[in-house]
Amino acid sequence: MAFPTETVYGLGANVEDRVAVSRVFEVKGRPPTHPLIVHIGGAQHLGDWVQDVPATARVLAERFWPGPLTLVLRRGRRVPMEATGGLETVAVRVPDHPVALALLSVFGGGVAAPSANRFGSVSPTAANHVRAELGDAVDVVLDGGACEVGVESTIVDATGDTPSILRPGGVTREDLETALGRPLAVHSASSVRVPGQHPSHYAPQARVVLVEPEKVAAEAELARQLGHQVGVLVPSFLTGTAVKAHAVVAVPRSMAAYARGLYGFLRELDQRGCDLIVASLPVEEGLGLAIANRLRRAAGPRPS
Ligand code: TXA
Ligand code: MG
């Protein structure tokens, strides 16, 4: 079953049902070593799924749940190895969406859910994205409208004394640092700590090329002359400049609006037949850090 969260739509299975969990891997086309996030209905249930809750994790859970934050902790016995790709840790979060929370509350257990897209492609931020991508392979899609945040949760390794960010996302680094009262390291690029985070991910069908913001228009023109159907994500400060391309999307000035729209923009450019997308990275602070992370990975080398 697919369900909405505030970040992206998830493809859910009872984490304690090994058959259901293996079906999720199958439908996504995801390697079995790539661990899933366990969704729970409230911070008060965290202790049921992990071995212990260190003080740092408790502070973060109290401050940010329900919300786009995932905590990696030592795996409790209720979580089968199949869900964690064989790891001794487990990723847990409480989503901030009324439909997800109602589902979790009625169900009462833990729901293992990756983003409801084919492995490596753009995450779904609306119910019709899930249908378009997974078709009949998913029996039910709960439609909770468009996702408010639009990029996935921030993943924090909270197993040790020094928490670190494994994947930037909907909760900003700045907000985490304020809550903890200390700086946080970010291991998001090619960290070995996060299995399955290979270079190409969050990728549309079109190839993605990243250039400096002031070079976007020239790069798009060059690609057009080379015969590409070019799609452009036009940086907000260039809005108003004529950019010649097959399809043009003006990037919202607000980072929250950009994050909310990002995956939809990439899907739209695919749908309009673009084979190449020219974009630039936003400033990597606040939600800009997560947006830049997704764009880099979308532009990463593809498996041939
Ligand atoms: O916002 C989200 O987090 C969404 C919604 C549906 O909740 N879910 C999501 O799941 O993005 P998925 O499967 O697409 O990404 C989960 C990420 C993967 O990069 C995985 O490697 C990492 O979480 N992860 C899961 N368990 C982990 C663990 N024990 N240690 C380190 N990383 C882990
Ligand atoms: Mg995903």
pLDDT at 193 over 50: no
pLDDT at 239 over 80: no
Average of per-residue pLDDT across 279-283: 96
Residues within 5 Å of ion ligand 2, judged at the Cβ atom: 115
The fold of 2-186 is DHBP synthase (3.90.870)
Cα separation, 24 vs 189, in Å, equals 26
Q: How far is the CA of 24 from the centre of ligand 2 (A)?
A: 12
Please, are residues 194 and 208 in contact by the beta-carbon 8 Å criterion?
no
Which are the contacts of 27, defined by CB distance < 8 A and separation ≥ 6?
A: 11, 134, 137, 138
- Ligand 1 pocket, 90 CB below 6 A? yes
Could you report the per-residue pLDDT of 123-167, keeping only the tens digit for each? 999 999 999 999 999 999 999 999 999 999 999 999 988 899 999
Average of per-residue pLDDT across 55-62: 97
State the Rg of the chain over Cα. 19
Q: Is omega for the bond preceding 95 within 30 degrees of 0, making it cis?
A: no
Q: Work out the angle at residue 169's Cα, subtended by the Cα atoms of residues 74 and 287, and round it to the nearest 5 degrees.
A: 150
For the chain, give every residue range classified as CATH 3.90.870.10.
2-186
- pLDDT score, position 192: 38
pLDDT at 190 over 50: no
**Residue-wise DSSP of 227-283:** T--EEEEE-GGGBTB---SSEEEEPPSSHHHHHHHHHHHHHHHHHTT-SEEEE-PPP
- pLDDT score, position 202: 87
- The chain-wide mean pLDDT, for the chain, equals 94
- Ligand 1 pocket, 84 CB below 6 A? yes
208 pairs with which residues across the strands? 277
- Ligand 1 pocket, 70 CB below 6 A? yes
Cα separation, 284 vs 289, in Å, equals 4
Please, are residues 231 and 122 in contact by the beta-carbon 8 Å criterion?
no
Query: Which of 38, 73, 74, 194 maximizes ligand 1 atoms within 8 Å of its Cβ, making it the mutation to test the pocket?
Result: 194
The fold of 207-298 is Rossmann fold (3.40.50)
For the chain, give every residue range classified as CATH 3.40.50.11030.
207-298
With CA atoms as reference, report the closest residue to 4 among 94, 84, 95.
95
Could you report the per-residue pLDDT of 294-303, keeping only the tens digit for each? 999 999 888 7
Sign of the torsion angle spanned by Cα atoms 69, 70, 72, 78: positive
Could you report the per-residue pLDDT of 31-50, keeping only the tens digit for each? 999 999 999 999 999 999 99
Could you report the per-residue pLDDT of 84-125, keeping only the tens digit for each? 999 999 999 999 999 999 999 999 999 999 999 999 899 999
Cα separation, 63 vs 242, in Å, equals 44
